[in-house]
Chain A
């Protein structure tokens, strides 16, 4: 039995690794022809939730986790079960996936993940397989139910909409951002991707009222201490002053300036300088009880009136540092490295604060930075522009 299993294991795993998809497809096709009767029935049987949770590894770990999520229980009564997300709906891919899945079968027979501890230790590896697969197919199984084209942008909060529209523009794979949506994340997973993950290790966990802290990446702001009502997004590299703490939440004060054209949703750090600090939801921005307004001044270079404002909101405790230099150092390295691929990078002080966004936007197509990182580097450049430098240039 064991030798037969081993032989089967070899035959079935090797092609997935080393032979092209074409051969794989052909193999699947032949298998389909030969075993048309029994094979298809078995295949359908293995495509049910009961089959998946037939072994305790699945039932006791990921299945329990799924039951805590919106994919299990929601107001519309639609439920996604295991095969909806994990088995491709298209037949060829389905076969390919089944062949990969024989590895998990191997695991159950030989006990690699037979305890919770062993499962947790192996979770990152297992999850990575699944993320890779979803990345490769553009999150096809998600898109069987969720389509960018069918999304009602207006029904979303501005925070969600901003992020989602960026993703839709690039037809981004859902799993890029939505890891952990149906099961828990592997323990060591950082929430920020790529370049900024390193900064998170330097995040502070002690907060003193009255002291300033600085955001590593774009962070959600809330109107309540339960962090349930979204108020806006704090930009990367922005400054907040802690007012109070309550459990996992911080009450923070933000001071800045906004243009009076529009709803006043964009809060900038200083008068006349387009250094974005916060993007507010419209309801918050237009609520005089939440936003304290002060003097209005006209910016001579655009003719637009700017108003000084101050407001207090709530946010989580993650991804804040107590020294802005930590952020600038990382941003400086990212700038120098990414912007010297084709040419020598201009000195930070070569442009002024309000010229940098235009130059930055005009070159972004050439750099590989995610949204959080783009914002941080841009803010670094603006805060080190000719407006803040007295050096001869």
Chain B
């Protein structure tokens, strides 16, 4: 779910857990080697953790519900059917 931590790259500095505006992570410095993505449904995908991770160990995965809807710009044109075909 939303933030995905690469355990190989993570240095366990905990900055992601510290700066996340929504406390998506849980990290207990003494016990955890890698932060736990504890509350994925509270992720807003602001990218703060990705931007601030010096090890580049975090990627965001946007849920399918958040898909960007798009079409080819070329397709935005009148469909030449109906009235126009009778010209």
Do A and B originate from a single complex? Answer: no
> Chain A residues in contact with chain B, CB under 8 A?
none
